[in-house]
Chain A
Amino acid sequence: MTTTRLSLSGISCAGCVSSVETALNDVEGVVTANVNFAEHSATIEGDVPVAALLDAVSNAGYGAAELRGIADEGEKEAAEMAHYRTLLRKAAVAAAIGAPLFVLGMSGMLPGLASNDGRLFWLIVGALTLGVLVYSGGHFFTGAWKSARNHNANMDTLIALGTGTAWFFSMVIIALPEWVPPSAQHAYFEAAAIIIALINLGSALEMRARGKTSEAIKRLIGLQPKTARVIRNGIEMDVAIDEVGLDDTLRVRPGERIAVDGDIIEGHSSVDESMLTGEPIPVQKQQGDKVVAGTINKLGTFLFRARRIGKDTALAQIIEMVRAAQSSKPAIGRLADKVSSIFVPTVLIIAVLTFLAWFNFGPSGQAWTLAIVTTMTVLIIACPCALGLATPISIMVGVGKAAEFGTLIRNGDALQQAGRLDTLILDKTGTVTEGKPSVTELVSAGDWKQDELLRWAASIEQGSEHPLAEAILDAASDRQLSLLDAEGFTAIAGRGVMASVEGRRVLLGNRQLMLENDVDTGVVEEVASAFMRKAQTPVFVAVAGDMAGVIGIADAIKADSKAAIRRLQDLGLKVVLLTGDNQATAEAVAQQVGIDQVFADVLPQDKAAKVASLQQQGERVGMVGDGINDAPALARADVGFAIGTGTDVAIESADITLMRGSLHGVPDAINISRQTVRNIKQNLFGAFIYNSLGIPVAAGLLFPIIGILLNPMIAGGAMAMSSLTVVSNANRLRFYKPGEES
């Protein structure tokens, strides 16, 4: 039975407690539901989907969220450490038996099988080796048996069969020597023990190396504080993070990490969000601003109200997204998956064929020995793990590394595609520019005074949410102009707005809007052209059909856009600027940042079509935009990059989310993608080559040609090393630094 804990909001009296308890108890599958009024939480027993419980509370008129913190990595690490020690102990025990046998055997100090004393000695050795197989290798045999019962075969199958064959054949020689030709009477107990030792040692080392591959996620999890300072009924107390409820008031003191997401209700401070966004400069926060879990308060003290807790916080969502991406596989890894799924039975068949080949065609007197040794070596050298690990382990490190510098990659396919892009379309506003336009120049026409022009323009923009409207309203506010009432406000997408002020029809927008409404723009045309040459957007204002003036609005280019675009071009990408602005303004901006190709005058709904048109020309197109207005274009692109989202990660349309505002995040993401895919290719190449060369050599292919036969113990060592090599190669990605070109 499952226990679910919910944090409740809106609970103010005992009646509420009863209502929520009734609502929860009515959900099918709930065994018991208890509401704790003091903690504003509910504990529910029963196998019920959490969504059904949340719906029930919501339908009863209250708010609820699941109380579930981020998984405790400490416990996981302790379990892994215990497993690591066990593997080392098993390796040591196996080596303690195998190594002396190997050394004494090589120096010819062990008795032969011909005498009774010799056979007794080998019988004791056989019993000791059996102990090794049970203690140090028992898990391989159990795994092999259980898998086989389920019609499955894995690495355990190969190891168990390889070492089991060695032990069994050796025992047959001792017990029934007459069954085997004298030339083949050699016991392989030392091989079985040493192989078990080497594979256990390899697994332990691999486990250590794999621990490093998840460092990024551990670092993210480490950002979550364990306790929070909550104020309840006027009393401040430290509580465990799981006990923070929705709408709780929390105090954050200087230097403390913020525990959950919320809104500041009192005080102000600067907050270091670099650990999540990669943005190095602390962000000023005041009443009404949002704060997120895991970030660090600098010098001030403030109170905030908990709005998102447990797995709903931005930090928890980032962790979840990174985890999900780390488990996904790009197309490049699917071939390896197909091979892995048929690998072990194929190796079993090769092993049987190897035995038969040597048995039938081996040199006289050596056929049995060669058949046994080669079969054992084939089983031991084949390594499905290296193949299976090749892709996921690199994805794990690459995606984690990207997250460290504020780049969230949604899945393996996005990662693979990002490295293969030909063209990158940059949305101008908010991507190349700051996204905060401001009025830079005002030129009035006819009898209009500048302040009057601005007052009328601002008056009709009161109802607009367009960034340019905000710039005009800010300018009017700076000049302390009182606004007039506007009626009949209408926004025309891609054109502008219109409304009536004092009974006169006011038009505000681009030249197209004026032309479509028969307004003569001739008197301000020269000024408008001059604005555009200076990368300003001219906004025409007409009152009662006559031109009243033109307002120049500019959006400052981000300080590092030019350098980032240069990096993208150096990476071999064609960079295109996309904007709803007019051609002249767009070209002026493009020129300043070093972009050659411009798509101007593009209506918001046509952005996706522009992406599609480039794709139809056979190009792989990436689109960088703000993730909200550009959602269709981001979704249409081969890879959509949502930029400057801060800690708001709930952007479904983006394949890659750049939490910091700098455009440098794009070349960084492309670089890490290229490096990760290169790393995967190295791993896959290594794993395929290892198996496709190792298995024929183990089968004795070189013996008839140059007389070389692989020792099964060397095969065991090679097998243990192969997956360790793959993990170590993937770990190299951890050393990537943003700004480094691949």
Chain B
Amino acid sequence: MNVLFVNLAGAALIAFIVWWFWLSRPKAQRVRENVVEILVEAGTYTPPRIEVEAGKEVTLRFLRKDASPCAEKVIFESLGINADLPLNTPTDVVITPVEAGEIPFSCQMQMYRGSLVATNESPPE
């Protein structure tokens, strides 16, 4: 009984890891403003997924609170954009997503990860 329970729990845990980290994604935060503040702290960008309207300029204002050097840069590899994030100093990255799609961003080591989701729908007023 014990053995079966442990094995089932193990299998369920693996299924959960696969689903949670690979198959499911955090809910995107839809933004109407043209400036979005992103907190860089404790290994994560908050909010990690931001939904914006395609074709419209958006300013991502990063505020780094994590002193670890891992957090010191943010890189938008697909756009060739990177920015230094000084500690406790808001740093703006201005992007105009030309078409609908996902633009990932990360730290240099891919540990901090986030994405900008451009859609063709206008966010609700």
Residue pair B43, A79 in contact (C-beta under 8 Å): no
> Does A345 count as interface, using CB distance less than 8 angstroms?
yes
> Does B109 count as interface, using CB distance less than 8 angstroms?
yes
> Does B10 count as interface, using CB distance less than 8 angstroms?
yes
Query: CB-CB < 8 A to B41: which residues of A?
Result: 146
Residue in contact with A71 in the complex, picked from B17, B20, B84, B110, CB distance below 8 Å: B84
Residue pair A146, B43 in contact (C-beta under 8 Å): yes
Query: CB-CB < 8 A to B73: which residues of A?
Result: 327
Overall SS of chain A's interface: helix
Could you mark each residue 374-411 of chain A with 1 if its beta carbon is under 8 Å from any beta carbon of chain B, else 0?
A: 00000000001101110010000000000000000001
Distance in angstroms between the alpha carbons of A142 and B14 in the assembled complex: 22
> Does A604 count as interface, using CB distance less than 8 angstroms?
no
- A window 321-336: CB within 8 A of B: 323-324, 327-329
Given A76-B86, A210-B69, check contact A150 B44 (CB 8 Å): yes
Distance in angstroms between the alpha carbons of A352 and B21 in the assembled complex: 15
Distance in angstroms between the alpha carbons of A624 and B22 in the assembled complex: 47
> Does A708 count as interface, using CB distance less than 8 angstroms?
no
Given A356-B7, A356-B10, A360-B7, check contact A392 B108 (CB 8 Å): yes
Query: CB-CB < 8 A to A360: which residues of B?
Result: 3, 7
> Does A348 count as interface, using CB distance less than 8 angstroms?
yes
Query: CB-CB < 8 A to A79: which residues of B?
Result: 67, 87-88
Distance in angstroms between the alpha carbons of A75 and B84 in the assembled complex: 14
- B window 91-114: CB within 8 A of A: 92, 94, 108-113
Residue pair A152, B77 in contact (C-beta under 8 Å): no
Residue in contact with A146 in the complex, picked from B21, B44, B70, B113, CB distance below 8 Å: B44
Residue pair B82, A324 in contact (C-beta under 8 Å): yes
Residue pair B26, A337 in contact (C-beta under 8 Å): no
Distance in angstroms between the alpha carbons of A139 and B110 in the assembled complex: 18
Residue pair B46, A146 in contact (C-beta under 8 Å): yes
Q: Which residue of A lies closest to B110 (CB)?
A: A340
Query: CB-CB < 8 A to A352: which residues of B?
Result: 10, 13-14, 17
Whole-angstrom distance between the Cβ of B62 and the nearest chain A Cβ: 13
Residue pair B84, A151 in contact (C-beta under 8 Å): no
Q: Which residue of B lies closest to A76 (CB)?
A: B86
Could you mark each residue 58-96 of chain B with 1 if its beta carbon is under 8 Å from any beta carbon of chain A, else 0?
A: 010000000111100101010010101011101010100
Could you mark each residue 67-83 of chain A with 1 if its beta carbon is under 8 Å from any beta carbon of chain B, else 0?
A: 00001000110011011
A-B CB pair tally, cutoff 8 Å: 127
Query: CB-CB < 8 A to B77: which residues of A?
Result: 329
Residue pair B109, A151 in contact (C-beta under 8 Å): no
Distance in angstroms between the alpha carbons of A147 and B44 in the assembled complex: 5
Residue pair A349, B111 in contact (C-beta under 8 Å): no
Distance in angstroms between the alpha carbons of A571 and B110 in the assembled complex: 35
Could you mark each residue 248-288 of chain A with 1 if its beta carbon is under 8 Å from any beta carbon of chain B, else 0?
A: 00000000000000000000000000000000000000000
Residue in contact with B108 in the complex, picked from A145, A356, A359, A388, CB distance below 8 Å: A388
**Interface range on chain A (Cβ under 8 Å from partner):** 35 or more
Distance in angstroms between the alpha carbons of A52 and B48 in the assembled complex: 29
- B window 1-47: CB within 8 A of A: 3, 6-7, 10, 13-14, 17-18, 20-22, 24-26, 34-35, 41-46
Query: CB-CB < 8 A to A144: which residues of B?
Result: 43
Residue pair B13, A71 in contact (C-beta under 8 Å): no
- A window 124-183: CB within 8 A of B: 139, 142-156
Query: CB-CB < 8 A to A71: which residues of B?
Result: 84, 86
Q: Which residue of A lies closest to B19 (CB)?
A: A151
Residue pair A155, B111 in contact (C-beta under 8 Å): yes
Whole-angstrom distance between the Cβ of B25 and the nearest chain A Cβ: 6
> Does A203 count as interface, using CB distance less than 8 angstroms?
yes
Distance in angstroms between the alpha carbons of A143 and B24 in the assembled complex: 20
Residue in contact with B6 in the complex, picked from A148, A348, A359, CB distance below 8 Å: A359
Whole-angstrom distance between the Cβ of B4 and the nearest chain A Cβ: 11
Query: CB-CB < 8 A to B26: which residues of A?
Result: 149-151
> Does A353 count as interface, using CB distance less than 8 angstroms?
yes
Whole-angstrom distance between the Cβ of B116 and the nearest chain A Cβ: 14
Whole-angstrom distance between the Cβ of A365 and the nearest chain B Cβ: 15
Q: Which residue of B lies closest to A368 (CB)?
A: B6
Residue pair A388, B14 in contact (C-beta under 8 Å): no
Q: Which residue of B lies closest to A391 (CB)?
A: B108
Query: CB-CB < 8 A to A385: which residues of B?
Result: 70, 109, 111
Residue pair A80, B43 in contact (C-beta under 8 Å): no
Distance in angstroms between the alpha carbons of A329 and B75 in the assembled complex: 10
Residue pair A327, B111 in contact (C-beta under 8 Å): no
Query: CB-CB < 8 A to B80: which residues of A?
Result: 328, 411
Whole-angstrom distance between the Cβ of A47 and the nearest chain B Cβ: 5
Whole-angstrom distance between the Cβ of B40 and the nearest chain A Cβ: 11
Distance in angstroms between the alpha carbons of A324 and B113 in the assembled complex: 19
Given A356-B10, A359-B6, A360-B3, check contact A349 B17 (CB 8 Å): yes
Whole-angstrom distance between the Cβ of A31 and the nearest chain B Cβ: 13
Residue pair A49, B57 in contact (C-beta under 8 Å): yes
Given A83-B67, A152-B113, A359-B6, check contact A342 B22 (CB 8 Å): yes
Residue in contact with B69 in the complex, picked from A149, A207, A342, CB distance below 8 Å: A207
> Does A2 count as interface, using CB distance less than 8 angstroms?
yes
Residue in contact with A345 in the complex, picked from B22, B84, B90, CB distance below 8 Å: B22
Residue in contact with B21 in the complex, picked from A76, A324, A345, A389, CB distance below 8 Å: A345
Residue pair A328, B82 in contact (C-beta under 8 Å): yes
Residue pair A151, B21 in contact (C-beta under 8 Å): yes
Query: CB-CB < 8 A to A210: which residues of B?
Result: 69
- Chain A positions within 8 Å of B, measured between CB atoms, are 2, 47, 49, 71, 75-76, 79-80, 82-83, 86, 139, 142-156, 203, 207, 210, 323-324, 327-329, 337, 340-342, 344-345, 348-349, 352-353, 355-356, 359-360, 384-385, 387-389, 392, 411
Given A80-B67, A342-B22, A385-B111, 6 additional A-B pairs, CB 8 A = A144-B43, A328-B82, A345-B18, A348-B21, A349-B14, A353-B10
**CB-defined A-B contacts under 8 Å, sample of 26:** A71-B84, A75-B87, A79-B87, A82-B67, A143-B42, A146-B44, A150-B26, A150-B45, A151-B25, A152-B48, A154-B43, A156-B43, A203-B68, A210-B69, A323-B84, A324-B82, A337-B110, A342-B22, A345-B17, A345-B18, A353-B10, A353-B14, A385-B111, A388-B110, A388-B111, A411-B80
Interface pairs A-B: 9 shortest CB-CB: A388-B109, A143-B43, A83-B67, A327-B82, A345-B21, A154-B111, A340-B110, A392-B108, A150-B48
